[in-house]
Amino acid sequence: MKIQLALTTGMLVLAAPAWPGAHDGSRPMDHSAHQGHQMTDEQLTTLRRKIPLYREYTDEEIAYGMSRMMAKNKWGWIAETSAGDKVGILTLAHGFDEPANEQFRETFRRSGADYPTTYAFGMAMMGSGHIQEAVTALEDAGAETIIVLPTTTADNSTLIRQWDYIFGKREDSAYLDVPRVQSKARFIWTETPTAHPLMAKIMLDYARENSTNPANELVIIMGHGPQSTEDNAKELEILSRHAAFLKQEGGFMDVKFANVQDDSPRAVRAANVEVIRGWAQAALDAGHEVLVVTTALTQSGVVKRMGRDVDGVAVFNDKGLMQHPRFIDWIDEVVAGGTAELTAGL
């Protein structure tokens, strides 16, 4: 049996989460009537094995989710310089709806890159052609070395592992076994912004935007978070360091942190949100104010969901980390580190 991937124009413009159906307690719509590419039984079985959330969905709902993923797979130029440059920059990202994608591109444009720079958006769950095209474009521009910026806020996630698989850094894929990148270029990988101290400084600025009396305020850092318990524990350790910085430098009463694990089964996400709302309600009952900042890069759909998660119990700052002027400092720093590694290897 083969299941059709829905790729009709109407579905591509819907503003919905990356996975099929919102985490609002409702079931996704039945999209079995839509036509498009096909999914095999083997692919459906693989996705259910690797992605626990998909065990809650029908074949048609999974196919619909995959069509949404494929629609987010894009590539393009951020800074296109003349042919002959031997170093190129490739930035990888989850991919969002507009205006979040444009917020991402604008941030990199404002960094004043000195090298030809491309982006490849998308989780590459069912295909990697957009990444291959971005790499080929850089090679055609003369790049012999490509510095890769995995621009996501989770060091431990299926997305990172899928990228690693596509570039031959690991043997097993996180989703489906999509084609691997073919290139003669040398790849230099940089760190994600996840644990960089600049991210804590940006979140501190965002918390201060809504702060009136820090000593009487609870700040909560909310993150998207990975799917598995094991990955989430590692990511929470990173958030703990950011939280300690915010509390010390901001003088807040307390700073707590949690990931909603937006791509996990509904019960897991709901439990995380319940904990967060519990913290907030307890603080309100004690006469304190509650402020929420997120680790999100842009004002994406997940940010809107997190805003709804704390509606009525907290003041929510929906700005993405990339919208802060200091995010460019991270870009400049990791690119400089990549070129330094290139120079050291010559």
* CATH number where 177 lies: 3.40.50
Question: Looking at this protein, which amino acid is placed at residue 306?
Answer: M
For the question of whether the overall pTM of this predicted structure is more than 0.75, the answer is yes
Mean pLDDT of all residues in 179-204: 97
- Residue 342 lies inside a defined structural domain of this protein: no
Mean pLDDT of all residues in 232-257: 98
**Lowest-confidence pick of 27-31, 56-60, 202-206, 260-264:** 27-31
Q: How confident is the model at residue 8 (pLDDT cuts 50, 70, 90)?
A: very low
Domain extent, residue 280, equals 197-323
- Residue 148 lies inside a defined structural domain of this protein: yes
229 alpha-carbon distance from chain centroid: 18
| CA dihedral over 133, 98, 57, 55, signed as positive or negative | positive
Q: What's the number of domains the chain is made of?
A: 3
Mean pLDDT of all residues in 234-239: 98
Same domain, 304 and 225: yes
Same domain, 233 and 308: yes
Judged against a pLDDT cut of 60, whether residue 56 lies above it is answered with yes
d(CA 331, CA 109): 11
pLDDT in tens, 199-235: 999 999 999 999 999 999 999 999 999 999 999 999 9
Same domain, 67 and 90: no
- Residue 92 lies inside a defined structural domain of this protein: yes
pLDDT at 96: 83
- Residue 179 lies inside a defined structural domain of this protein: yes
The proportion of the chain whose per-residue pLDDT surpasses 90, expressed as a percent, equals 76
Cβ atoms < 10 Å from Cβ of 216? 14
Judged against a pLDDT cut of 60, whether residue 23 lies above it is answered with no
pLDDT at 237: 98
Q: How confident is the model at residue 80 (pLDDT cuts 50, 70, 90)?
A: confident
